[in-house]
Amino acid sequence: MTEKGLILVVEDERPIAELVRMYLQRDGFGVELESDGHAGLASARRLRPAACILDIALPGLEGTEICRRLRAEDIWVPIIFLTARDDEVDRIVGLELGADDYLTKPFSPRELVARVKAVLRRSSGVPEPDRVKTVGPVRIDPASRGVSVDGVPVHLTTTEFDLLSHLMTRPGRVYTRDELLSAVWGYAAHGGTRTVDVHVAQVRAKLGDAASIIRTVRGVGYTAGD
């Protein structure tokens, strides 16, 4: 049953993979399982799933390398890391490579499904589908999920797009990190506000000379404006 889309799960621990499959299928998703990094990368390229759930410590090819190669090939499928690594450095590296979310083991299968749904809602562009937003040289079109700087397209991940879109919805309005976590990621501060900082840094890097439209308000959060 795949009415909600196909989810690729790359996980070498079979009991965990089967548990994830069961919960996703129960919620109406189709699921493709791979236990090897090279096979997972090949499946992501071939199947173009609605989302990928990647373990990091995989045989053959680590999940972070799968993510890096997909992004390098302009494959912007939403990616959630599911891993036993709980070190902040590992988490930040994963996000910097273009992952959309990160969940550590042991985990709640229900929370994982909720994270998948959240990232798919964001990637669908359902909120504010028609209104084009412009701040300085940056133009964002929620209907096509396109971003450009002075007319030149900029490729953002699903989460990066939604973060920028949220900031540009009300230019000049200052958002706290907790507010951004809730609005963009769909969960509270237990996800770690450092996640917001990493994504803001990634968006700024991709905007190049237009990065200054996102301003840091020390001790508070972020705002967008000319």
Q: What is the distance between the alpha carbons of residues 96 and 211, in angstroms, rounded to a whole number?
A: 16
Could you list the mean pLDDT of each consecutive 10-residue stretch along the chain, which spans 226 residues?
77 95 94 95 92 93 93 90 69 75 87 90 60 91 90 91 91 88 67 79 94 93 89
For residues 54 and 40, the answer to whether their CB atoms sit within 8 Å is: yes
For residues 206 and 215, the answer to whether their CB atoms sit within 8 Å is: no
Q: Residue 83 forms beta bridges with which residues?
A: 104
Contacting residues for 217 by C-beta, under 8 A, at least 6 apart: 174, 223
**What amino acid occupies position 66?**
I
> Which 8-state DSSP code applies to residue 170?
S
pTM of the model: 0.68
* CATH C-level class of 6-124: alpha beta
Q: Residue 101 forms beta bridges with which residues?
A: 80
Q: What is the pLDDT of residue 105?
A: 85
Strand duo 101-104 + 79-83: pairing: parallel
CATH dotted code for 133-224: 1.10.10.10
For helices 109-124 and 14-26, what crossing angle results, to 10°?
Answer: 60
**Residue ranges of the domains in the chain?**
6-124, 133-224
Q: What is the distance between the alpha carbons of residues 138 and 195, in angstroms, rounded to a whole number?
A: 23
For 193-213, give the DSSP string.
Answer: THHHHHHHHHHHHHHGGGGGG
